[in-house]
Structure 1
């Protein structure tokens, strides 16, 4: 059985490998593409926020430029005489002139001068900022493409970029298993040949042992049948080659010839109920000496027999019981009486529920039940006496 399981395992692996080689190749191709796709992106977990900020700046470059230009023109427009700086310059000049006549206006003159230089600095910085602002459509397109790439990876492999990187690790592990963790078909075929050769040797050894035991079994069962008044019956074990299984490469079937000249028939096709009962008892009796079972159950193995055959069956069951426990379900008084202990099985139905109870019989109940088997429901004194004699044998 171990040899067969080893052979079966290799055969299944080979069949699976051959059947799924195309699927394996396709799966490997998909995994390789996924690895290349993720690795090509060179994901930086910090770039996502940076891209969003930069894209927002580029998208708003024109609005920012317009606002800065308007502010600059309001402060200092060389072509206009009414700009803020122009007006403050005039105010600063007049206050300086007034302070020359009266020092009370010096503070106002100083504050106006401070305001002028502050706004002049703002104007200068605005001019510098406007020079630095440029709308770069090429950079914006590159950023949009990069964001699209990252969003595509998110949809495929995880809601976050960190999930995408975790998916990459899992994909790489599966790819490693598929490309380096399995045997190829050629190696499996070679292993299968070796396992098949070992299985054949083991099967031949098993067949040799079975054929030898079959001869002993045939003779043994013939003797058992003779004890059951089937001395003219013949029993044969036939073998037929078949597929390998856990039980070897031969199919075993029992054949019986109940009367000379009738020819052998498969045991399963034996028609007579009484003959079949005795056949099964003979086989179980023979097997019981070889199997060393502690308990055997006979379920109406005495069906279809009576008289001396019933007594022979009772004695055969009793003999089997000397080597272990036997439970026999029977309606024959001979079989019931020969037992050491009797139990009575009762069935009771209530509505849709049926229950069975088992009750151990005491001596008087044993006599009464055996008497019922002998005489029916009208138990006579003679039936009770005969039942008592059967139980006391």
Structure 2
């Protein structure tokens, strides 16, 4: 149950705390006072789509929080957020909307994503908007309503698994099917690319080695000059000794006194170590100088190989490894084209079995849907009688269609508004008031199937008046005995039937428009009902009539 809705800087509402009660809660007010803004705030805190335009002019951010009680610990989607209701079963949802478009959402103080907030919100509260009745005009939604009522998840999942397997086979067959001219062109193109890459005899990692060798060859004279200079310094020449000879002389000079003290022994040892190291360096430099063989022909060959790799990379991949992967794909595609006829024949045999599986799963899904449709027709018919639509007949029509992701059935809701008239599609004959009541009936039936504890109805009275309005009010009162109901309304019958009545009032202060939400006592309820009934001129007769309406509603609620 939604206990407290806190709103800050949402449109014309600067700040408001609305403490909802169990049972039937009604919100009334002048057109434009901000009733729908309260509904928008509920949608926002439940993860609905929002716009920065929702933020009050001059404010940097908007904030909404909703405190729910009686929340089950195993509520769907809640485990993904890493949070849980407190020990009293309370769950606090919060959403902050910034002017920069950023959102900050929390569940019991723990940050969560908007998607997680939406998933949890769907299990706590259901909003029936004033335009939802028009959804009944979209026949593509009728199957979804039936599946939702019939809980056909299992057969629908089995069907979609079979359908997806069939669709994958069809895609594979489509990829293999091409005319002969197109096939010949593709084969020629693949063979040319394969031949060009195979002639290159690509080797993984060779590009890096070639680059290093090319740099070395391009700087051959400099390389030899440096090595020669280092060799002369280390090994010396015909006329002088090098560093190695000098270190050896120093080592021999200290050899005779190394036993005279620990420090001299250590010094001699260091010279000995240095001599070994310099000797290794001298040999390495000499070997590198001897093994380097500069050849202009080799440089030309390396340059040519680098140029070839550069040209191939522009066509087949950024690296040698990528070009080799592309070569592998070309070989696979060529092989697939050349063996396409055999592959197609094999896939066609598989497709026959896949289609049989789809049709079998489709029949099971249709069977489950027809069973659910029979029950839903009876339930909707009963709800419509309760809503003063005794002469209306409601039926669900099935017709076959080619397999599609949603099944093999075309499902349509039909109705007959008058005795003796044939059943026809709702979109063609239902009036606005009939649509509203049929949608209300459908929502009520679906709500009984779900664990959602709070139902919100935003102006479900559109197109409804008189006796029909009284029936709608009674139906909402009945629903409120096992679900919390929040209803935005313009009808006195609905407002009078509520257990708790709020007035949404708009005013001005310091040149700014402000909206506040006030809970009404009986005296103010009478005045509000009189205003709804008679407009701006509230007479004693209207007040008396409003009091009688409240008495009758209270008597009806006591009888539930």
Please give the range of the TM-score, normalised by the shorter of the 2 chains.
0.5 to 0.7
Look up the match of 2:198.
Answer: 36
- Distance of aligned partners of 1:26 and 1:335 in 2 relative to their CA distance in 1, 3 Å threshold: farther
Q: Name which of 478, 495, 510 aligns with 1:336.
A: 495
TM-superposed CA distance for 1:334, in Å, is 0.8
Pairing 1:6–2:153 present: no
Q: Is the CA contact (8 Å cut-off) linking 2:163 and 2:358 kept in structure 1?
A: no
* Cα separation, 1, equivalents of 2:513 and 2:373: 44
| 1:369-380 matches, cutoff 5 A | 369-380=528-539
Look up the match of 2:519.
Answer: 361
Look up the match of 1:309.
Answer: 468
* Cα separation, 1, equivalents of 2:452 and 2:446: 9
More off after superposition, 226-235 vs 3-12: 3-12
Look up the match of 1:274.
Answer: 433
Look up the match of 1:66.
Answer: none
* Cα separation, 2, equivalents of 1:389 and 1:5: 57
| 1:259-270 matches, cutoff 5 A | 259-270=418-429
Structure 2 length normalisation: TM-score? 0.45
* Cα separation, 2, equivalents of 1:24 and 1:256: 57
Pairing 1:193–2:355 present: no
Q: Is the CA contact (8 Å cut-off) linking 2:506 and 2:516 kept in structure 1?
A: no
Structure 1 length normalisation: TM-score? 0.62
* Cα separation, 1, equivalents of 2:362 and 2:460: 34
| 1:85-234 matches, cutoff 5 A | 147-157=303-313, 165-171=320-326, 174=329, 184-234=343-393
Runs of 5+ in structure 2 lacking a partner?
A: 1-155, 177-182, 221-294, 555-560
Secondary structure of the residue aligned to 2:500 is: coil
Look up the match of 2:483.
Answer: 324
- Distance of aligned partners of 1:309 and 1:49 in 2 relative to their CA distance in 1, 3 Å threshold: closer
Q: Give the aligned CA root-mean-square deviation in angstroms.
A: 4.2
Q: Provide Cα deviations, 1:66-121, integer angstroms capped at 9, x if missing partner.
A: xxxxxxxxxxxxxxxxxxxxxxxxxxxxxxxxxxxxxxxxxxxxxxxxxxxxxxxx
* Cα separation, 1, equivalents of 2:507 and 2:332: 63
Structure in which a larger fraction of residues adopt strand: 2
Look up the match of 1:115.
Answer: none
* Cα separation, 2, equivalents of 1:243 and 1:278: 33
- Distance of aligned partners of 1:385 and 1:28 in 2 relative to their CA distance in 1, 3 Å threshold: farther
More off after superposition, 245-254 vs 276-285: 276-285
TM-superposed CA distance for 1:300, in Å, is 2.6
Runs of 5+ in structure 1 lacking a partner?
A: 55-138
TM-superposed CA distance for 1:255, in Å, is 0.9
Secondary structure of the residue aligned to 1:153 is: helix
Q: Is the CA contact (8 Å cut-off) linking 1:302 and 1:330 kept in structure 2?
A: yes
Structure in which a larger fraction of residues adopt helix: 1
Q: Is the CA contact (8 Å cut-off) linking 2:166 and 2:358 kept in structure 1?
A: no
- Distance of aligned partners of 1:295 and 1:246 in 2 relative to their CA distance in 1, 3 Å threshold: farther
Secondary structure of the residue aligned to 2:461 is: coil
Look up the match of 1:251.
Answer: 410
- Distance of aligned partners of 1:10 and 1:224 in 2 relative to their CA distance in 1, 3 Å threshold: closer
Secondary structure of the residue aligned to 1:36 is: helix
TM-superposed CA distance for 1:271, in Å, is 4.1
TM-superposed CA distance for 1:150, in Å, is 3.8
Q: Is the CA contact (8 Å cut-off) linking 1:38 and 1:168 kept in structure 2?
A: no
Q: Is the CA contact (8 Å cut-off) linking 2:214 and 2:299 kept in structure 1?
A: no
* Cα separation, 2, equivalents of 1:227 and 1:237: 20
* Cα separation, 1, equivalents of 2:476 and 2:520: 22
TM-superposed CA distance for 1:324, in Å, is 1.5
TM-superposed CA distance for 1:335, in Å, is 0.7
Look up the match of 1:88.
Answer: none
- What is the number of residues matched between the two proteins? 302
Q: Is the CA contact (8 Å cut-off) linking 1:7 and 1:192 kept in structure 2?
A: no
TM-superposed CA distance for 1:185, in Å, is 4.4
- Distance of aligned partners of 1:355 and 1:14 in 2 relative to their CA distance in 1, 3 Å threshold: farther
Q: Is the CA contact (8 Å cut-off) linking 1:255 and 1:265 kept in structure 2?
A: yes
Q: Provide Cα deviations, 1:183-206, integer angstroms capped at 9, x if missing partner.
A: 954554444433332222222122
Q: Is the CA contact (8 Å cut-off) linking 2:166 and 2:354 kept in structure 1?
A: no
